[in-house]
């Protein structure tokens, strides 16, 4: 049995909630909902006037291709700036690329952690460049729990990654007047898609109810023994593959059911549990020699999406974790094809992006995961990496 890497709906997700959540703030700030974050990016870039702001967009070389595709589709040229192996921006390279023809700089708060901006806001302002903060990896900052982002001109969100809505993204602009109005009428989600979503949500609710029942009855456990020969080495090669993007995602509006779940999610009350899962795993992982935790020393001021780990030669291990029902996912495993065209990125940027692409592994900590799941993840990881543990 393996819990899904991202949260899925439970029965309470479809019941109305009268407690606030971070999404109230999104609505108060004039946030626009979208089908997914990629749709939000497409909507935003379709509204940027190239004759005022310019034609080029600077994007992190380490990314998800769903960030790049909508910007190209909206008619911009993209150029990549280097993200160093520790996931930090190479500010010298970025500043070098910034000029008046750059319409926007996209920064990604990887795994929710706020990317330091240094002088970027000032540099962007001086070049009439929009600063777009991609907060797709986490909807919330903490102390107090609140909507993440707001440090740039536009913030992008991917609600479904943290709230159990299956779909749903959005964007907020600090000064909406800088953006053009679009006349584009989006077709409503076709009936068949809505029915499919309803069925999917019903199945998730049913599965979660069964798991809940098994917890109550004491039947919820993972297999005791770790099932794969961890010592067997595997041949790995990091091939360049391409991420499939469904063009339909740009035309759909957010389904009403996803929007309803997002607005009623009991997210704020679940934050303590998510942070506990984060702390539990990261404390344990910091003792694993093969793991590098890039944010271990940063102050925790967001609700992270996962515990991100840099693990060299990830491909030697990830399928073994999968075979043992560990909940994890990868990010940036595939990079956009234009990164490799020889002109859009420096060699150092490509090299570091490929390093990260083959090394990032993200251990899930979301609200559906309980102490049994977290214990299991620790156990498999410690067995795999031969750690003496307190388990
Ligand atoms: C940084 C970033 N922005 C945007 C997206 C697109 O998110 P969505 O799947 O909601 O379109 C992703 C996807 O993982 C992402 O990693």
DSSP characters over 20-88: --HHHHHHHTT-EEESSHHHHHHHHHHTS-HHHH-SEEEEESSS-HHHHHHHHHTT-EEEEE-B-TTS-
Q: What are phi and psi of 243, to 5 degrees?
A: -80, 125
CA dihedral 108, 111, 116, 119 (to 10 degrees): 10
Judge if the beta carbon of residue 64 lies within 6 A of ligand 1.
yes
Judge if the beta carbon of residue 134 lies within 6 A of ligand 1.
yes
Could you read off the pLDDT of 39-52 as tens digits, one per residue? 999 999 999 999 99
In angstroms, the CA 288 to CA 117 distance is 30
In angstroms, the CA 106 to CA 89 distance is 11
For β-strands 102-108 and 77-81, DSSP reports them as unpaired
Q: What does the pLDDT read at residue 115? A: 96
In angstroms, the CA 34 to CA 168 distance is 6
Judge if the beta carbon of residue 258 lies within 6 A of ligand 1.
no
Q: Tell me what the pLDDT averaged over the chain comes to.
A: 91
Ligand 1 centre and the CA of 138: distance in Å? 11
Among protein residues, the one whose CA lies closest to atom 14 of ligand 1: 64
Ligand 1 centre and the CA of 135: distance in Å? 9
Judge if the beta carbon of residue 13 lies within 6 A of ligand 1.
no
Q: What does the pLDDT read at residue 190? A: 75
Token output for 150 = 């707001």
Lowest mean pLDDT among 74-83, 140-149, 211-220, 367-376: 211-220
**The domain defined by 1-175+188-391 carries CATH number 3.40.640.10:** yes
In angstroms, the CA 192 to CA 177 distance is 36
Radius of gyration (C-alpha) of the chain in whole angstroms: 21
Q: Would you give the distance in Å from CA 227 to the centre of its chain?
A: 30
Instruction: Evaluate if residue 386 carries a pLDDT over 90.
Output: no
Vertex 2, ends 329 and 279: CA angle to 5°? Answer: 60
Ligand 1 centre and the CA of 67: distance in Å? 6
Region of 166 please: left (phi>0), alpha (psi -120 to 50) or beta.
left
Could you read off the pLDDT of 64-110 as tens digits, one per residue? 999 999 999 999 999 999 999 999 999 999 999 999 999 999 999 99
Instruction: Evaluate if residue 188 carries a pLDDT over 70.
Output: no
Q: What does the pLDDT read at residue 74? A: 95
Ligand 1 centre and the CA of 286: distance in Å? 27
Q: Is the overall model pTM greater than 0.85, yes or no?
A: yes
DSSP H helices in the chain: 22-28, 37-46, 50-53, 65-73, 91-97, 120-126, 191-216, 256-264, 271-285, 318-323, 347-357, 371-384
Token output for 17 = 């909630």
Q: Which residues make Cβ contacts (< 8 Å) with residue 137, sequence separation at least 6?
A: 108, 109, 110, 111, 112, 158, 161, 305
**Percentage of the chain exceeding pLDDT 70:** 91
Q: What does the pLDDT read at residue 390? A: 44
In angstroms, the CA 261 to CA 194 distance is 14
DSSP 142: T
Where residue 230 falls among pLDDT bands split at 50, 70, 90? low
Residue 6's CB is within 10 A of a number of other CB atoms, namely 18
Could you read off the pLDDT of 233-250 as tens digits, one per residue? 565 555 556 566 666 678
Closest CA to 295 of 227, 235, 363, 348: 363
Closest CA to 26 of 162, 129, 197, 124: 162
Q: Which atom of ligand 1 has the smallest separation from the CA of 159?
A: 10
Q: Where are the domains of the chain?
A: 1-175+188-391
Identify the helix (H) or strand (E) that includes residue 154. strand 154-157
Token output for 8 = 């899925």
In angstroms, the CA 294 to CA 306 distance is 12
Sign of CA dihedral 283, 371, 291, 106: negative
302-324: average pLDDT: 94
Residue 347's CB is within 10 A of a number of other CB atoms, namely 9
Where residue 391 falls among pLDDT bands split at 50, 70, 90? very low
| Angle, in degrees to the nearest 10, between helices 191-216 and 256-264 | 40
- Residue 221 or 32, more confident: 32
In angstroms, the CA 257 to CA 280 distance is 33
Ligand 1 centre and the CA of 391: distance in Å? 35
In angstroms, the CA 120 to CA 91 distance is 8
Where residue 252 falls among pLDDT bands split at 50, 70, 90? confident
């Amino acid at each position: 049995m393996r819990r899904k890497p991202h949260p899925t709906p439970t029965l309470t997700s479809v019941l109305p909630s009268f407690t606030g959540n971070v999404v109230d703030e999104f609505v108060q700030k004039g946030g626009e909902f979208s089908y997914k974050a990629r749709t939000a990016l497409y909507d935003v870039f379709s509204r940027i006037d190239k004759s005022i702001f310019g034609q080029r967009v600077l994007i992190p070389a380490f990314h998800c291709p769903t960030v790049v595709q909508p910007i190209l589709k909206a008619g911009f040229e993209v150029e990549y700036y280097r993200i160093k192996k520790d996931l930090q921006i190479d500010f010298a390279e970025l500043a070098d690329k910034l000029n008046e023809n750059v319409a926007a700089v996209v920064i990604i708060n990887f795994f929710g952690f706020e990317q330091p901006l240094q002088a970027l806001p000032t540099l962007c302002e001086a070049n009439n460049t929009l600063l777009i903060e991609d907060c797709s990896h986490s909807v919330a900052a903490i102390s107090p729990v609140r909507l993440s982002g707001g440090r740039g001109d536009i913030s992008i969100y991917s609600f479904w990654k943290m709230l159990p809505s299956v779909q749903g993204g959005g964007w907020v602009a600090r000064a909406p007047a800088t953006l053009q109005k679009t006349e584009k009428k989006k077709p409503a989600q076709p009936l068949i898609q809505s029915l499919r979503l309803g069925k999917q949500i019903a199945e998730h609710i049913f599965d979660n109810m069964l798991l809940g029942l098994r917890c109550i009855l004491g039947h919820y456990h993972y297999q005791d023994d770790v099932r794969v020969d961890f010592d067997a080495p595997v041949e790995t090669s990091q091939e360049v593959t391409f991420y499939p993007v469904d063009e339909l995602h740009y035309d759909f509006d957010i389904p009403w059911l996803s929007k309803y779940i997002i607005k009623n999610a009991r997210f704020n009350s679940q934050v303590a549990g998510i942070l506990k899962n984060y702390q539990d795993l990261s404390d344990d992982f910091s003792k694993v020699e093969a793991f590098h935790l890039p944010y271990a020393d940063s102050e925790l001021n967001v609700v992270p999406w996962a515990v991100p780990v840099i693990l060299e030669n990830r491909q030697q291990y990830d399928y073994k974790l999968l075979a043992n029902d560990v909940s994890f996912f990868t990010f940036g495993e595939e990079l956009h094809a234009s990164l490799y065209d020889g002109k859009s990125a420096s060699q150092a940027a490509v090299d570091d992006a490929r390093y990260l692409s083959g090394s990032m592994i993200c251990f899930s900590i979301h609200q559906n995961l309980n102490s049994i799941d977290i214990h299991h993840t620790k156990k498999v990881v410690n067995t795999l990496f031969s750690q003496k543990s307190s388990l």
